[in-house]
Amino acid sequence: MNWTPEEAVSYYKGQGAPSDQTALTELLREIQREHGGSIPAQLLPRTAELLGTKESFLRAVIRRIPSLRLSDSHLLELCAGPNCPKRRDLAGFVEKTWGKEPKGFTLRYVPCMRMCGKGPNIRWDGTVYNGADEALLRKLIEG
């Protein structure tokens, strides 16, 4: 399907976006499909302008929907299972070092990864790392 951002936004605004979360999510999924599986970050300002919303709002929506991904960032998923006492330490380290809304990667907390005996567990761009620590996080995030 070849369409312009204006055409796509116009269609989904007719479906209720951005106030209707389902329509907004479908618009973002459509953009993601059209661009090979990730949403180009450079499209967000224009999309937000066309929707009459803020870019930060679109980024927040993308962060909260696991199937959506920005192309300019990596994805760090931290296990948030209730049986992992060390997970809070890692989460605190990430938020203290890079902030709650870091630049260069998307931070998500996911339910238990079911590898409690090997934890704390993280997933970086789809690859699971067991026994994660601050040094590993620095290596992955800072390259």
Residue 39 vs residues 50, 57, 89, 109: alpha-carbon distances, Å: 16, 15, 31, 20
Higher-confidence residue of 6 and 143: namely 6
Q: Which structural domains are found in the chain, ordered by start?
A: 5-64 (no CATH), 74-142 (3.40.30.10)
Higher-confidence residue of 112 and 143: namely 112
pTM: 0.54
Higher-confidence residue of 76 and 49: namely 49
116-134 per-position pLDDT tens digit: 888 888 988 778 899 999 9
Q: What's the confidence (pLDDT) of residue 43?
A: 84
Q: What's the confidence (pLDDT) of residue 101?
A: 76
| CB-CB neighbours of 34 under 10 Å | 16
Average pLDDT, stretch 74-89? 79
